[in-house]
Structure 1
Amino acid sequence: MKRFLDDDFILQTETAKHLFHDYSEKLPIIDYHCHISPREIYEDKRFESLGDVWFGGKQDDGTIFGDHYKWRLMRSNGIPEELVTGRKDELLRFKKFADTHSLSIGNPMYHWCSLELKKYFGIDEPLTASNAEKIWDKCNDMLKNSEDMTVRGLIRQSNVSYVGTTDDPIDDLKWHEKIAADKSIDFMVRPSFRPDKAVNIHKDGFREYIAELAKAVGKETLTGTQDVIDALIKRVSYFAEHGCVASDHGLDYVPFRITSYDECDKVFKRAMNGEKISAKEAEGYQTAVLLALGREYHRQGIAMEIHYSCMRNKNERMFGLIGPDTGYDMIGNNSCGENLADFLSELDKTDELPKTIIFSLNPYDNQQIGTIIGGFQSPEVAGKIQHGPAWWFNDSKQGMEEQMKSLASLGILGNFIGMLTDSRSFLSYTRHDYFRRIMCNLIGGWVENGEYPNDEEALKRIVSGISYYNAKRYFGI
Structure 2
Amino acid sequence: MKNFIDDNFLLETEAARKLYHEYAKDMPIIDYHCHLPVEDIANDRRFNNLTELWIEGDHYKWRAMRTLGVPEKFITGNSTPEEKFGKWAETIPYAMRNPLYHWTHLELQRYFGITDILSPANARKIYNQCNSLIKTPAYSTRNLLVKMDVKVVCTTDDPADDLDYHRQIAEDNFEVQVLPTFRPDSLLNIENAGFVDYLQLISGKTEIEIRDLKSLLKATESRINHFHDHSCRLSDHGLEFAYSEDFTEEQLNEILQKRLAGKNLNSEEVMIYKSGLLFYLGKFYAAKNWSMQLHLGPIRDTNSRMLENLGANAGVDSIGDFEQAKPLAKFLDSLDRIKSLPKTILYNVNPAENEVMATMAGNFVGDSQKGKIQHGSAWWFLDQKDGIEKQLNTISNMGLLSCFVGMLTDSRSFLSVPRHEYFRRILCNLFGNDIEKNELPADFDWIGKLIQDICYYNANEFFQFPQLADVEKQS
Report the TM-score range of the alignment, normalised by the length of the smaller protein: over 0.9
Match of 1:169 among 159, 180, 184: 159
Amino acid at match of 2:45: K
State which of 243, 265, 269 in structure 2 corresponds to 1:277. 265
| Contact 1:167 1:192 survives alignment (8 Å) | yes
Separation of aligned partners in 2, 1:7 and 1:204: 52
Query: 1:336 Cα shift?
Result: 2.2
Asked whether 1:234 is paired with 2:234, we answer no
The 1:333/1:202 distance shift into structure 2, 3 A limit, reads same
Q: Deviations over 1:410-455 (max 9, x none)?
A: 0000110000011100000011011111111111111111111111
- CA contact 1:225–1:289 (8 Å) conserved in 2: no
Could you tell me how far 1:275 is from its partner in structure 2? 4.0
Give 1:306 shift.
0.4
Matches within 5 A, 1:61-140: 66-140=57-131
Q: Report the count of equivalent residues.
A: 465
Which consecutive residues of structure 1, in runs of 5 or more, have no partner in the other structure?
A: 57-65
Contact 1:118 1:124 in 2 (8 A): yes
Among the aligned pairs, what percent are the same residue?
Answer: 40
Q: What residue identity is the alignment partner of 1:438?
A: I
TM-aligned CA deviation for residue 9 of structure 1: 0.6
Shift of 1:253: 1.4
Counterpart position of 1:412:
400
Contact 1:255 1:336 in 2 (8 A): no
Which residues in structure 2 correspond to 1:270-349 (within 5 Å)?
270-349=258-337
- The corresponding residue for 1:181 is 171
Q: d(CA) in 2 for partners of 1:278 and 1:391?
A: 32
429, 437, 461: which one aligns with 1:473: 461
1:59 corresponding residue in structure 2 = none
Task: Give the match's secondary structure for 1:419.
Answer: coil
Deviation at 1:460, TM superposition (A): 1.4
Q: Check if 1:402 corresponds to 2:393.
A: no
The answer to whether the Cα contact below 8 Å between 2:345 and 2:376 also exists between their aligned partners in 1 is yes
- 1:141 is aligned to 132
- State how far apart, in whole Å, the 1-side matches of 2:446 and 2:312 are: 45
* Larger deviation, residues 271-280 vs 414-423: 271-280
Amino acid at match of 1:208: D
SS at match of 1:256: coil
- Alpha-carbon offset, residue 46 of structure 1: 0.5
Match of 1:152 among 134, 142, 147: 142
Deviates more, 1:431-440 or 1:86-95: 86-95
1:200 aligns with 2:182: no
Provide closer, same or farther for how the CA distance between residues 347 and 95 of structure 1 changes in structure 2, counting only shifts above 3 A: same
- Please give the TM-score of this superposition, normalised by the length of structure 2: 0.96
CA RMSD of aligned residues (A): 1.2
Residue correspondence of structure 1 range 349-364 to structure 2 within 5 A? 349-364=337-352
**Equivalent pair of 1:15/1:447 in contact (CA under 8 Å):** yes
Distance in 2 separating the partners of 1:225 and 1:324: 30
Amino acid at match of 1:244: C
CA distance in 2, matches of 1:282, 1:15: 54
Q: Distance in 1 between matches of 2:44 and 2:340?
A: 40
Q: CA deviation at 1:226?
A: 2.8
Partners in 1 of 2:193 and 2:405 — Cα distance? 35
Residues 7-39 of structure 1: CA deviation (Å, up to 9, x unaligned): 111111111111111111111100001111222
Cα distance in 2, alignment partners of residues 421 and 6 from structure 1: 22
User: Could you tell me whether the CA contact under 8 Å between 1:225 and 1:285 is conserved in 2?
Assistant: no
Q: Distance in 2 between matches of 1:204 and 1:51?
A: 35
Distance 1:316 1:338 in 2: 31
Equivalent residue of 1:79, what SS? coil
How far 1:276 sits from its partner (Å)?
4.0
2: distance between equivalents of 1:276 and 1:311?
A: 23
Asked if residue 259 in structure 1 is aligned to residue 247 in structure 2, the reply is yes
SS of the residue aligned with 2:191?
Answer: coil
